[in-house]
Chains A and B, each alone.
Chain A
Amino acid sequence: GAVVSQHPSWVICKSGTSVKIECRSLDFQATTMFWYRQFPKQSLMLMATSNEGSKATYEQGVEKDKFLINHASLTLSTLTVTSAHPEDSSFYICSALLVYEQFFGPGTRLTVL
């Protein structure tokens, strides 16, 4: 099946720093990728849709200047959390679209101290 990887799997950073998370489709090309955030014991909330070669589409309430998304190739999308604060601590999961099915990455656990 289609495989999606994320890096890093976990990261701990100090408040005010920026963190970059990579999402890669390993064995297929993905024009569209998605970024989700999942707080403990909660559901997946879509943050933005990442489109190769164009600007990302952000969901209502998600700050585009805080969560920078770059989809520079058909196999890589990156999410940069800028000036991270403790409330940004969460599980960030990406997915890549193949035909009509989304294949999820293993997630990145971000802890901001």
Chain B
Amino acid sequence: GENVEQHPSTLSVQEGDSAVIKCTYSDSASNYFPWYKQELGKRPQLIIDIRSNVGEKKDQRIAVTLNKTAKHFSLHITETQPEDSAVYFCAASNGDQGAQKLVFGQGTRLTINP
């Protein structure tokens, strides 16, 4: 089955700097890669996603890149703000196998220092 590895487990950056979180996946059939932000005790919130037919997607300060050959994808947050502090999870799924079962990475605790 699919296995998703996420790094780093913790990341601390100065406010205004950029943050990058990386994930690798094992199943070459995976074709959907969402990123979630989770605050303590809350539900995961989808912040951006990418499908395997594109290599990059951007939404304001957030961008995701996908390298299908290397089977890795990354989250980029620019001009970080204190409210970006949270735990971020990547995930992968293969929608062609029915019910879009998501496999999550281990999570990255991002801290933005003012």
Contacts and interface: CB of A to CB of B under 8 A. Distances in A.
Interface string A50-83: 0100000000000000000000000000000000
B44 A100 contact: no
A34 B42 CA distance: 17
Contacts of B34: 101
A102 B42 contact: no
B95 interface: yes
Interface residues of A, number: 20
* Residue in B34, B44, B95, B107 whose Cβ sees the most chain A Cβ within 10 Å: B44
A49 B99 contact: yes
Given A34-B101, A43-B107, A93-B43, A100 B95 contact: yes
Interface of B: 32, 34, 41-46, 49, 89, 95, 99-107
Interface of A: 32, 34, 42-46, 49, 51, 91, 93, 97, 100-102, 104-107, 109
